[in-house]
Structure 1
Amino acid sequence: MEWFCMLMRPLTDEQINQYEKDGYVIIRNGCSEDLIDAFNAHIYTIRSAKEIADWAVPGKTWTDKDRFSTRLFNPHKQDGFSLQMIKLPIIRGALCQLMGDEAVGIQSMYFFKEPGAKGQAAHQDYYYIKTEPNTMIAASIAMDKTDEENGCLWVIPGSHKLGLLTHGEVKDLVEHEHWTHETEGIDLGKQIPVIMEKGDLLIFHNLLIHSSTLNRSTNRWRRSYVCHYVHHASFVGPEHLRFKTPLIRENMRF
């Protein structure tokens, strides 16, 4: 299947080396501004509807405030536009380069992160999603410009080489949501901010320690579309994530 990976090779050798060294790489201008604006508007339409579709409701019990604060979970399973966004050729090509083979999508999340919203404490994605063999890679599409003011991601370069660490209770409830867990036994002072422009793509390893902070802006959102992928032959632990979305055309399946 190596010939599949020849269709698009967006990462340079230097970027691949950076991913292997640091556990992440940014593809600048991976998505056009028109595409980002169209997708943001599409998601807004879904959540602003008078009657929200069952698959898109913010939870069992919700209020109008939750429409644009609670993440939209796995929209690619129900919505055509979200499905195409998880299958972006530039992401598929980068994953092919990093895995050496075709990837499949297993999860998508659209985050709103309005002004004043808390972030998620430092963690490793593999803590929540076990795969065998361990091949999971995340791709985060910046739907807005993201920096320290509006609660960008922070990462510890090279931390993906430490293996899976212990996770415990969240310590800073002013900065972070309470319903997550936090990596223990690591110097969080080594975190650095990931500054991204609208349309940039962040590709990162499932063991990379990363977090996000409180959105301290008064009028800036930090929306993002975060998708998780695995090698097409990997087993996915959580049962609700075992449906694999191919990133290739129907007549090119494995």
Structure 2
Amino acid sequence: MSKKNAYIRKGSISSENIAFYKQNGYLIAADLLSGNEITELKKETAAIFRGERGYVDGMLAVDGVESDDDILKKYVAIHFPHKISSVIYNYLSHPKIVHVLTNIISPNVKCMQSMLFVKGPGKAGQAWHQDEFYIPTRDRSLIGVWIAIDDASIENGCLWIIPGRPGYLMRRVNNHSDEYADVDSIDVSKYGSAGPVPVEVAKGSVVFFDGYTLHSSKRNKTTGCFRTALVNHYMSAESMLPWDQDGKLPATEDLRDIVMVAGEDPYAWKGVVDANKPYLRPEVLKIKTKL
């Protein structure tokens, strides 16, 4: 299947795009968000990490003369920023994003997580992984939506993807590469050097990828460029969500800390809860691993 079908043109998803996603596990929508929207997200990112949207455990005191860049260099990411930012919350249901989601997941879509990455100069990336390993769905409908707030290049640590979804969750092994902050990874050597594809995109572009799709990001090797990205996770509303937030919450058959973004919620009778709290991502990440 032609790689040109990986690209959504002018925000309008085609049958060829849908077929490509089902086979390869990802799609790219260039310039899906406007310049004004990206400016808004950029400003909101600085406000969040300045503590202007509420204190998050571990945030450092802000010197009044520090620039936004100086502040952002102290952090890697914040999980669940939509819990404290109405701007981030509103972007969960961005109409152009929801249009794609309802065509490749279900007419009924819910969001369960947001993550705001501010990978500054020198910061390590994420090792090879599959999101479904961390966020289990019952119908394999998990999808990540990766919004580029800065231009993402190989030099500043763009997303990398291996096309073609494995039909299972692959074994985690020790990570020995200083490209990544994680203690574990997936051995992707069987795919060869031509397997991984760098996803270099301009700010405003959005990458959609399946929960079983292998992906990673390398270290930001620049001296003055950030690679800021808002990453939200969605799934079909028909599926329950047996997610304990990496052991932070009690085990459950259906975590109801969700935001409906399209259609109807067949489990609305259960109500919703506010279980997850925003937290800062540590420099070295060790999640769900015994390695």
- TM-score for both structures, normalised by structure 1: 0.85
Distance 1:108 1:166, change over 3 A: same
Equivalent-residue separation in structure 2 for 1:17 and 1:199 (angstroms): 24
Aligned length: 237
Residue 161 of structure 1, CA deviation? 3.2
Question: Which structure carries more helix by proportion?
Answer: 1
Contact 2:149 2:203 (8 Å CA) reproduced = yes
Partner of 2:203: 198
CA deviations 1:113-168 (Å, max 9, x no partner) are 0011100111111111111122111100000111111011111111x133211112
Question: Are 1:243 and 2:243 an aligned pair?
Answer: no
Equivalent-residue separation in structure 2 for 1:232 and 1:38 (angstroms): 29
Partner of 2:287: none
1:21 to 1, 20, 23: 23
Distance 1:170 1:63, change over 3 A: farther
Residue 248 of structure 1, CA deviation? 4.1
Equivalent-residue separation in structure 2 for 1:139 and 1:132 (angstroms): 19
Partner of 1:177: 181
Residue 237 of structure 1, CA deviation? 2.2
Residue 36 of structure 1, CA deviation? 0.7
Q: Identity across aligned pairs (percent)?
A: 27
1:31 to 30, 33, 36: 33
Distance 1:219 1:112, change over 3 A: same
Query: What is the SS of the residue equivalent to 1:226?
Result: strand
Equivalent-residue separation in structure 2 for 1:39 and 1:224 (angstroms): 9
Equivalent-residue separation in structure 1 for 2:196 and 2:114 (angstroms): 25
Higher relative contact order (CA 8 A, sep 6+): 1
Equivalent-residue separation in structure 1 for 2:86 and 2:262 (angstroms): 15
Partner of 2:46: 44
Contact 1:166 1:185 (8 Å CA) reproduced = no
Contact 2:53 2:85 (8 Å CA) reproduced = no
1:107 to 104, 113, 117: 113
Residue 106 of structure 1, CA deviation? 0.3
Structure 2 unmatched ranges of 5 or more? 1-10, 63-69, 246-254, 267-291
Equivalent-residue separation in structure 2 for 1:109 and 1:18 (angstroms): 26
CA deviations 1:25-81 (Å, max 9, x no partner) are 0011110011011111012012124x7723xx2x44757677542312111123211
Query: What is the SS of the residue equivalent to 2:232?
Result: strand
Contact 1:95 1:102 (8 Å CA) reproduced = no
Partner of 1:187: 190
Contact 2:150 2:227 (8 Å CA) reproduced = yes
Query: What is the SS of the residue equivalent to 1:220?
Result: coil
Structure 1 unmatched ranges of 5 or more? 1-8
Partner of 2:272: none
The residue type equivalent to 2:19 in the other structure is N
Equivalent-residue separation in structure 2 for 1:63 and 1:183 (angstroms): 37
- RMSD of aligned alpha carbons: 2.2
